[in-house]
Chain A
Amino acid sequence: RKEVEQDPGPFNVPEGATVAFNCTYSNSASQSFFWYRQDCRKEPKLLMSVYSSGNEDGRFTAQLNRASQYISLLIRDSKLSDSATYLCVVTHPNSGYALNFGKGTSLLVTP
C-alpha cells in the first residue's frame, strides 16, 4: 500500500466550476501536510500547507482530518490556468522529513 493515496483522475471541469480532491495517508506519525502543483514537464511547486484548522488561500481551501488521515483540497471558480497535476504530500520524522508524494490528481479546466 502506498503511503499517500490519491485519485489520479483526470478531473475535467468547465471554467467556474468547483472541484475537490482527496488524499489519504497511511502513516499516523505523519507530521506536516501540503499540496503541491506540477504543470506538464515542469517541477513541482508548493501550493499550500494544510492544517487541522483548515486554511484558505484565495480560491483554494485545504483541510486536514488527522483522525481519518485524510487531506482535501477545494478549488472554487476554476480557471483555465488551474489545469495541472495536484500532488498530496506528507512528511514525518522517521523519513527525515523528506516529502512523500502521492501520485497526483490531474485537473483539466475547459472553456
Chain B
Amino acid sequence: DTAVSQTPKYLVTQMGNDKSIKCEQNLGHDTMYWYKQDSKKFLKIMFSYNNKELIINETVPNRFSPKSPDKAHLNLHINSLELGDSAVYFCASSQWGTGLAFFGQGTRLTVV
C-alpha cells in the first residue's frame, strides 16, 4: 500500500499547455504539501493545506492553483506552462505540527 501516491510520474508537455498533478495519501494525515525541486536539487515549499484549508502560499505564480477536495487529496493545476516550470514536484503529507512528513515519488515535469 503506497502511503502517498502522486500521478503522473512523468509529464512531458509543450509550453502554453495546462496540466494537473494528482496526489492522494492514505495515512490519515491532516496536512498536505506541494514542494518543487529544481535542477539545483533545492526543495522549496509551494503550498500547504491543513484540513483542506490553505495555510501557506509561497511566492508562486498564480498559474499554479492547488485544490484540496478532501483531507486525503491535494491536486496541483498549472496553467500556461513555461520552460522554467520544468522540475520535480513532490507531494507530501504529515500530521499538523509534527514535521514527520511522507513524500510521494515525485512528478518529473518537462516543458518543451
Contact = CB atoms under 8 A, between A and B. Distances in A.
A99 B99 contact: yes
B56 interface: yes
Interface string A77-93: 00000000101010101
Contacts of B105: 42-43
A104 B44 CA distance: 12
Dominant SS at the B interface? strand
Contact of A43 (B40, B96, B97, B104): B104
B106 A46 contact: no
Interface of A: 32, 34, 42-46, 49, 85, 87, 89, 91, 93, 95-101, 103-104
17 contacts: A32-B99, A34-B99, A34-B100, A42-B105, A42-B106, A43-B103, A43-B106, A44-B90, A95-B56, A96-B56, A97-B96, A97-B97, A98-B45, A98-B48, A101-B43, A103-B41, A103-B42
